[in-house]
């Protein structure tokens, strides 16, 4: 197993290196000069040229790329051109915000999605099955933007149940320590805000969870249906075992493997693809960080931001692969 | 062996998660029902009262770049720093006239080359450092020793940095504890207005000497509010400075500036009570706000221009008749009625009427398609021509909906035989390509920095600024002479006269189609008092209070 993990980690190097090159080239291919954008409409030609020299933008691309790689190997992700802060220092609060939201969303998606899938398969062709699958179909095809706005309108403005944006009650903000606000409220002993922070997670969490939840539910259902038809399940049932145990113990174990792949993929997508949700709900996460960096042509932030997201994505996939081995001993990695 | 170990563990995890979530969700919903209904009662009464301190939540479109005002050029940064720092001179409450600030008196010499400022006494920075002549000198030294990429506004307002040929400020010296003397290399007419701009807020020398480049993360000024915390892309919190020199102020205990990028989301937050004041309200939402008894609408005095620039070097726009024809062809009033909800003034000059030097005698080009056709015929283009019309991809105060306005213009042009193809690029690309002169006609605009005519006409239409802000590539030697003369003219009446002449030239040459001077909107809770939006876009919140 260790050997396998080592091999996979080594494989990461060319993958990530390729990524850096691709991202580096693409963002430089889009027109728009960072120096100009940073200095704004007001800037003179001289000022723009001076800033280009300072940022190293006057160097040929291969020199810039080489310098970037050298920095990376030293653990230096570069400095934001716009805020003049090192990305390593700047990125954590954004990443933490996305982690918190994505964790909450994947929790909703997995628990509801897996269970809905199981129950649908268990009571195949029942009203629950039809209803769940119709909802799942709507969930997959629902534009997040629309869903988010509807949630805000219904639960925020009409019913006043839940806050429509931000991460906390802004009148009395929690001082950020870890930047995971649920944790911060506890560390600060601010239990008044803990409820608020959780409430702020609900609407964006649901918006973000909808698509993965629907995908997971459908995947679980079909995978379960397949397993339920196998001989060993029939045997278990014939032995007089309770249906609940047959489903949740025997069948789920084999049915869960393809579902895990989907969960892993969805988790990666959540991290990178939260931009829309983060924009609608003014959630200061990594998606919005990168999105704004693109608008400002903040090359180091775009490069490093995407690299970080990509890194997390592959790490999740690696983790999922390892998990297969743990669940299903037939899968061997040597 | 292995099989046995793992399976119960996984099952347990699964169960645990289910239980936690079930508990969580049921808890959450019942909890939130109770809490929110309580909250609602509180909000409708005004939450600030119930918590015992006055907190203002200001929703705005973006985050600050830095909280060191001299290091930035973006309006969002100044919105915050305007309340942390103070300048030697202030603008008027809702205009750009000059008033006392940290300086109580200012005396220019007759030749306009020396200015003596008398400073306010008994003022302290938030960190306890005394505010005095020495502090002012240190601030100006810090800026003058900088560079364009560090302190962009200093260079552009004062002609460069120490040692540069065009640098206006020869020396800044302390004369005793509370007098500062500025010596200039040449007279600069907008000098006092420049000094009053947000970027030139006086910072605590102790703090910037200690923090260096990091000063922007921990700003220290003399303003009514001191910095507390900045959560990037989320919120900036500032709180009342107890040692503020103006007794009894500020009225608010705390201000939280929240970044809410989407205009509709921001208005939603105001409607739901999460924020108290919302910047950047869409003109179309103005009526909603006015119809809500819990809210009030604020109009920011106009200091902007939205225009359709014509690249004067690209045929056929190198022909003045074609440019004039374009001006006659476009129905500005219907654009203002439809997309600014009538909250704008028709533009006939490149600057708004609030700016001193505005020439109201200019007739402007009325909407007259017949005249436009005739001019086109005179230019030898009776059959019209094809062109690209660049539509702004982002809403700006001076242009709420670029794409739709472009459609109207397209239709107007079609009426006189010009086939315009609407093109749009992402904003940064748009600006760069337009600046390179790649557009036939492009929509753009400008919001003034200091309320001076120079900041509009010279910046936008002088030959010096081609490749910079003169996107139209318009170059007229006579105009240039007038504008340069106006920059050093100290006699205000003569200056006004020079700018009036300048506008006549521009009217004849028609380098753009000036469209509108818009009135940007803000919305706030009904119980908010003394909020006076400033034309520069950076509002002082010293006197703001809740009823």
Tell me the per-residue pLDDT of B210-245, one tens digit each, with 9 for 90 and over. 998 889 999 999 999 999 999 888 899 999 999 999
**Is there a contact between B262 and A327 if contact means CB atoms under 8 Å apart?**
no
The verdict on residue B15 lying in a domain is: no
**Is there a contact between A32 and B429 if contact means CB atoms under 8 Å apart?**
yes
- Are B144 and B278 members of one domain? no
For residue B371, the tally of other CB atoms under 10 A from its CB is 17
| B424, two tokens | 């749009």
Q: How far apart are CA B482 and CA A81, in angstroms?
A: 38
Residue for token pair 């993965």: A212
The verdict on residue B219 lying in a domain is: no
**Model confidence at A41, in pLDDT bands (50, 70, 90)?**
low
Q: Are B146 and B154 in contact (CB under 8 A)?
A: yes
Contacts of B232 in chain A (CB under 8 A): 90, 93-94, 284
Q: Which of A:262-281 have CB within 8 Å of B?
A: 279-281
Q: Are B315 and B503 in contact (CB under 8 A)?
A: no
**Model confidence at B34, in pLDDT bands (50, 70, 90)?**
very low
pLDDT, position A273: 61
Average pLDDT over residues A258-286: 82
- Dihedral-angle region of residue B270 (phi above 0 means left; psi in -120 to 50 means alpha; beta otherwise): alpha
B147: exposed, middle or buried (Cβ count in 10 Å: 0-12, 13-18, 19+): middle
**Global confidence as pTM:** 0.83
Comparison of pLDDT for B149 and B517, the residue scoring more:
B517
- Are B415 and B401 members of one domain? yes
Average pLDDT over residues B122-149: 94
Contacts of A174 in chain B (CB under 8 A): none
pLDDT digits (tens, 9 = 90+) for B269-294: 898 888 999 999 998 899 999 999 99
Instruction: Give the total residue count for chain A.
Output: 334
Percentage of the residues of chain A whose pLDDT score is greater than 90: 12
The verdict on residue B284 lying in a domain is: yes
CATH of the domain at B340: 3.10.105.10
Q: How many domains does chain B have?
A: 3
**Model confidence at A46, in pLDDT bands (50, 70, 90)?**
confident
- Are B342 and B481 members of one domain? yes
Distance from CA of B110 to the nearest CA of A (A): 31
Contacts of A152 in chain B (CB under 8 A): 265, 268
**Is there a contact between B233 and A288 if contact means CB atoms under 8 Å apart?**
yes
- Closest Cβ opposite residue B259 in set A31, A50, A282: A282
Reference B264, options A215, A229, A156; nearest CA is A156
- Are B348 and B488 members of one domain? yes
pLDDT digits (tens, 9 = 90+) for B184-209: 999 998 999 999 999 999 999 999 99
Residue A122, C-beta contacts closer than 8 angstroms, at least 6 positions apart: A224, A228, A243, A247
A333 contacts chain B (CB < 8 A): no
**Model confidence at A245, in pLDDT bands (50, 70, 90)?**
confident
- Are B244 and B193 members of one domain? no
Contacts of B272 in chain A (CB under 8 A): 156-157, 160, 163-164
pLDDT higher than threshold 70 for residue B121: yes
pLDDT, position A334: 57
**Is there a contact between B65 and A44 if contact means CB atoms under 8 Å apart?**
no
* 3-class SS letters over B185-249: CCCCCCHHHHHCCHHHCECCHHHHHHHHHHHHHCCCCCCCEEEEEEECCCEEEEEECCCCCCCCC
Percentage of the residues of chain B whose pLDDT score is greater than 90: 69
Comparison of pLDDT for A61 and B29, the residue scoring more:
A61
Instruction: Count the helix, strand and coil residues of chain B and give each as a percent rounded to the nearest 5.
Output: 40, 20, 40
CATH topology of domain A92-327: MetI-like fold (1.10.3720)
Name the most confidently modeled range: B47-51, B295-299, B428-432.
Answer: B295-299
Q: Are B518 and B400 in contact (CB under 8 A)?
A: yes
pLDDT higher than threshold 60 for residue B25: no
Segments making up each domain of chain A, as ranges:
2-73, 92-327
pLDDT digits (tens, 9 = 90+) for B438-485: 999 999 999 888 889 999 999 899 998 887 789 999 999 999 999 999
**Model confidence at A47, in pLDDT bands (50, 70, 90)?**
confident
Residue for token pair 């640098």: B167
Q: To the nearest whole number, what is the mean pLDDT of chain B?
A: 88
**Model confidence at A40, in pLDDT bands (50, 70, 90)?**
low
Name the most confidently modeled range: A255-259, B108-112, B439-443.
Answer: B439-443
Average pLDDT over residues A271-283: 80
pLDDT, position A333: 62
B38: exposed, middle or buried (Cβ count in 10 Å: 0-12, 13-18, 19+): exposed
pLDDT higher than threshold 50 for residue B84: yes
pLDDT, position A73: 85
- Closest Cβ opposite residue A164 in set B37, B74, B274: B274
**Model confidence at B166, in pLDDT bands (50, 70, 90)?**
confident
Contacts of B28 in chain A (CB under 8 A): 198-199, 202
| DSSP character string of B239-297 | EE-TT-SSTT----SEEEEEE---HHHHHHHHHHTS-SEEEEE-GGGHHHHHT-TTEEE
- Are B279 and B322 members of one domain? no
Comparison of pLDDT for B378 and A310, the residue scoring more:
B378
The verdict on residue B38 lying in a domain is: no
Q: How far apart are CA A174 and CA B2, in angstroms?
A: 45
pLDDT higher than threshold 80 for residue A180: yes
Looking only at the bridges linking them, the beta strands covering B386-390 and B441-447 are: parallel
- Are B255 and B163 members of one domain? no
- Are B374 and B333 members of one domain? yes
Of A41-50, B163-172, B445-454, the one with minimum mean pLDDT is A41-50
Looking only at the bridges linking them, the beta strands covering B419-423 and B386-390 are: parallel
Q: Which residue of B has its CA nearest to A256?
A: B10
Contacts of B536 in chain A (CB under 8 A): none
pLDDT higher than threshold 60 for residue B32: no
Comparison of pLDDT for A80 and B4, the residue scoring more:
A80
Contacts of B428 in chain A (CB under 8 A): 31-33, 36-37, 295-297
- Are B359 and B453 members of one domain? yes
Name the most confidently modeled range: A28-32, A95-99, A151-155, B115-119.
Answer: B115-119
**Model confidence at B503, in pLDDT bands (50, 70, 90)?**
very high
Average pLDDT over residues B479-492: 91
**Model confidence at A43, in pLDDT bands (50, 70, 90)?**
low
Of B108-112, B414-418, B477-481, the one with minimum mean pLDDT is B108-112
Average pLDDT over residues B392-397: 86
- Closest Cβ opposite residue A42 in set B73, B268, B428: B73
Q: To the nearest whole number, what is the mean pLDDT of chain A?
A: 85
pLDDT, position B20: 42
pLDDT, position A28: 83
The verdict on residue B49 lying in a domain is: no
pLDDT, position A74: 86
pLDDT, position B376: 95
**Model confidence at A325, in pLDDT bands (50, 70, 90)?**
confident
Contacts of A158 in chain B (CB under 8 A): none
- What domain range is B232 assigned to? 225-301+521-546
pLDDT, position B38: 35
**Is there a contact between B265 and A40 if contact means CB atoms under 8 Å apart?**
no
pLDDT higher than threshold 70 for residue B136: yes
The verdict on residue B415 lying in a domain is: yes
pLDDT higher than threshold 90 for residue A303: no
Distance from CA of B487 to the nearest CA of A (A): 18
**Is there a contact between A195 and B35 if contact means CB atoms under 8 Å apart?**
yes
């Amino acid at each position: 197993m260790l050997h396998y993990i080592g091999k996979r980690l080594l494989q990461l190097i060319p993958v990530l290196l390729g990524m850096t090159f691709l991202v580096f080239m693409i963002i430089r291919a889009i027109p728009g000069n960072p120096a100009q954008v940073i200095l704004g409409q007001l800037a003179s030609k001289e000022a723009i040229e001076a800033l280009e020299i300072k940022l190293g933008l006057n160097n040929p691309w291969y020199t810039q790329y080489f310098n970037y790689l050298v920095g990376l190997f030293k653990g230096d992700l570069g400095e934001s051109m716009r805020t003049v802060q090192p990305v390593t220092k700047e990125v954590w609060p954004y990443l933490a915000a996305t982690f918190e939201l994505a964790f909450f969303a994947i929790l909703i998606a997995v628990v509801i999605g897996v269970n809905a899938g199981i129950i649908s398969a268990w009571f195949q062709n029942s009203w629950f099955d039809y209803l769940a699958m119709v909802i799942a179909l709507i969930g997959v095809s629902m534009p997040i933007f629309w869903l988010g706005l509807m949630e805000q309108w219904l639960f925020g403005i009409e019913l006043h149940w839940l806050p429509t944006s931000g991460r906390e009650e802004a009148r009395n903000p929690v001082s950020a320590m870890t930047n995971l606000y649920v944790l911060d409220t506890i560390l600060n002993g601010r239990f008044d805000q803990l409820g608020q922070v959780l409430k702020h997670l609900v609407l964006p969490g649901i918006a973000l969870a909808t698509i993965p939840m629907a995908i997971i539910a459908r995947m679980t259902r079909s995978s379960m249906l397949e397993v339920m038809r196998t001989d060993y399940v029939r045997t278990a049932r014939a032995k007089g075992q309770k249906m609940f145990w047959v489903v949740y113990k025997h069948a789920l174990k084999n049915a869960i493997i393809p579902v895990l792949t989907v969960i892993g993929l969805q988790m990666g997508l959540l991290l990178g693809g939260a931009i829309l949700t983060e924009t609608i709900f003014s959630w200061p996460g990594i998606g919005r960080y990168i999105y704004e960096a693109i608008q400002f042509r903040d090359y180091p932030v775009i490069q490093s931001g995407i690299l970080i997201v990509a890194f997390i994505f592959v790490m999740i996939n690696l983790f999922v692969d390892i998990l297969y081995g743990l669940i299903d001993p037939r899968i061997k990695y040597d | 062996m292995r099989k046995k170990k793992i399976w119960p563990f996984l099952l347990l995890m699964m169960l645990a998660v289910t239980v936690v979530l079930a508990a969580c969700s049921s808890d959450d919903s019942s909890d939130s029902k109770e809490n929110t209904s309580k909250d609602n009662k509180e909000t409708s009464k005004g939450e600030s009262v119930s918590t015992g301190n006055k907190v203002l939540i200001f929703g705005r479109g973006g985050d600050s770049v830095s909280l060191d005002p001299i290091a930035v050029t973006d309006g969002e940064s100044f919105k915050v720093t305007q309340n942390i720092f103070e300048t030697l001179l202030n603008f008027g409450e809702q205009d750009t006239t000059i008033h006392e600030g940290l300086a109580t008196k200012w005396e220019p010499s007759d030749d306009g080359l020396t200015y003596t400022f008398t400073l306010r006494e008994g003022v302290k920075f938030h960190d306890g450092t005394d505010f005095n002549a020495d502090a002012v000198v240190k601030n100006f030294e810090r800026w003058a020793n900088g560079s364009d990429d560090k302190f962009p506004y200093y260079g552009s307002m004062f002609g460069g940095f120490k040692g540069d040929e065009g640098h206006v400020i020869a020396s800044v010296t302390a004369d005793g504890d509370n007098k500062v003397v500025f010596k200039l290399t040449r007279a600069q007419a907008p000098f006092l207005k420049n000094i009053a701009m947000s970027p030139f807020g006086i910072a605590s020398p102790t703090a910037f000497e200690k923090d260096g480049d990091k000063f922007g993360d921990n700003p220290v000024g003399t303003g009514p509010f001191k910095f507390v915390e900045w959560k990037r892309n989320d919120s900036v919190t500032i709180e009342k400075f107890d040692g503020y020199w103006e007794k009894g102020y500020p009225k608010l205990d705390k201000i939280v500036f929240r970044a809410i990028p989407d205009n509709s989301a921001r208005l939603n937050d105001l409607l739901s009570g999460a924020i108290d004041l919302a910047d950047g309200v869409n003109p179309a939402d103005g009526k909603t706000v006015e119809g809500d008894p819990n809210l009030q609408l604020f109009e920011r005095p106009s200091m902007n221009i939205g225009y359709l620039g014509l690249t004067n070097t690209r045929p056929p726009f190198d022909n003045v008749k074609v440019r004039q024809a374009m001006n006659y062809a476009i129905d500005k009033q219907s654009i203002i009625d439809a997309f600014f909800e009538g909250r704008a003034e028709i533009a006939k000059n490149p600057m708004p009427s609030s700016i001193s030097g505005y020439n109201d005698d200019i007739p402007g080009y009325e909407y007259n398609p017949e005249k436009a056709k005739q001019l086109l015929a005179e230019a030898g283009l009776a059959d019209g021509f094809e062109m690209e019309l660049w539509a702004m991809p982002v809403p700006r105060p001076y242009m709420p909906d670029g794409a739709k306005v472009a459609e109207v213009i397209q239709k107007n042009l079609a009426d006189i035989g010009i086939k315009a193809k609407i093109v749009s690029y992402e904003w940064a690309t748009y600006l760069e390509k337009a600046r390179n002169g790649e557009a036939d006609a492009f929509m753009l605009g400008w919001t003034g920095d200091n309320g001076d005519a120079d900041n509009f006409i010279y910046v936008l239409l002088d030959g010096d600024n081609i490749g910079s802000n003169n996107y139209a590539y318009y170059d007229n030697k006579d105009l240039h002479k007038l504008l340069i003369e106006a920059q050093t003219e100290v006699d205000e009446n003569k200056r006004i006269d020079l700018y009036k002449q300048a506008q006549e030239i521009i009217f004849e040459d028609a380098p753009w189609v000036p469209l509108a001077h818009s009135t940007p909107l803000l919305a706030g809770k009904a119980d908010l008092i003394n909020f006076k939006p400033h034309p520069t876009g950076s509002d002082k919140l010293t006197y703001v209070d809740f009823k």
